[in-house]
Structure 1
Amino acid sequence: MRVLKITAMAALLVLAASVAFAGPTYDRVMSTKVVKAGLSNQGIPFGFINDKNEWVGFDVDMAAEIAKRLGCKLEKVVVNNNTRISFVQTNPPKVDMVLSNMTHKRVRDEKIDFSITYFFDGQKFLARKGTVKDVADLANMKIGSMQGTTSIVNAKAYLQELGNPNPQVTGYDGEVAMFEALNSGRVQAISTDSTLLLGYAAKVPGKYELVGDFISDEPYGIGLPQDDSAWRDAINFTLQDIWKDGTYKKIYDKWFGPDSDYPFPLTSKIEMWP
């Protein structure tokens, strides 16, 4: 009798462990063979609509590669800076993963989970060529950034460090509105992740330039539903496989290589597990 009880208890523990490991997102995606990815359609060159009306970008290609390796169909869902977290938080989530140039911050990790870092960037300022002779000039300029991002917080803090206790920083609803504010002269410079600035500057070659050094590190993670370790592991393992076999480098060079429209040297490598 005692042996039977121990055997039954062991079986229940194994069953409980397997259920806990599975997780709702992982189970659903593996069952439906469809993975919903939250992607920007304004974040050049990560996710945007090109001249052929195609939804393209680095994040779009990465999402497609992840879905393919999981044996799933990719369903693209538009997210922006105000929805990219909330779309992962709903029950059930509106998206299974978010690739939207999103910096992995501790405050964000309190709301959703993240993958390992899959892209490395930093924040800078973009201004019309020749208007900023020294970075100190930025302190008293009208600056634009984006609502719902850490960029606007970083920009204000940096301008305060330059000596302006009350800097003029306006938050805009997305990259297009922010760049339009610069292009129309409503602000004299804009600040966000440097690759996004490069993307929009490339639309009008020779008119704008990046100013100063990086004012922050911006490690991008894939946003994931909270507390689903099996789904998080699946994404992390897939990212590492994409890196290991050279596919990551091909996708990176397509968008950021020396011969691309947005050259940006690869500065780090992703975390690899033995």
Structure 2
Amino acid sequence: MHLVDLIPDSDTLLALSPEELGLAMLPSIEAWKDGAHGIELSRFLSTVFGPGAGNYPSGNRTEISDALREAWAWLEGAALIISAPGLGGIHPNRVLSRRARQLVTGGDPRGTFAVRSLPKMQLFESIREDVWHLFQRGKYDTAVFEAMKAVEIAVREAGGFGPDLVGVGLMSEAFKAGGPLADPDAERGEQVALMNLFQGAIGSFKNPHSHRKVALGPDEAAEILLLATHLLRIVAWRRMMMT
């Protein structure tokens, strides 16, 4: 499996953080290792740029190489790649750690490591770390639940509501005409539409996940997480306007 099979677009690759790119590299590192002897960085780079490796443009090869080296260093620091056993002395060969092997074998690498579907920095700050890592581990339903729970918490705190008001009812009270998060300068129809947006999102994507097992794929989960990000930005904006 070439890296270009997982991240076909070079601009997307270069936009990834070292941890995002490092996670995406794991299936390819595992595929190209030399048995128990593992693979060294220079050999891995040759699988990215060598004959038959794919079609990353040659014009930004240096940038791509630098990004891959940074990601490799992050993988080492995170103990996801470790020294290959049995070679003796200090050597550059690396193999996947137990945790990394669990990540790779736990599901379809194209799904588990679909970093191009959800760039980390696109997520709202309050959910960026925990939710993104859940997504990368393939815990899509949990990631969606946690993101929508964060929306609920943000609405409750911004509106000054107690813990007993939850879910769709909370959204109704917060965004109804005259509610603490309603925009008093908006037309009545716009106020209702915004309330319906929050009601629908929480009712569709948070409450069902708290009562039954829902199997989500990476693309659908990424779309819902970006919706949660948009909702959190709206709450932050309304909170700022209230001060």
Give the TM-score normalised by the residue count of structure 2. Answer: 0.25
Q: Which has the higher helix share?
A: 2
Which structure's relative contact order is higher, taking Cα pairs within 8 Å and 6+ residues apart?
Answer: 1
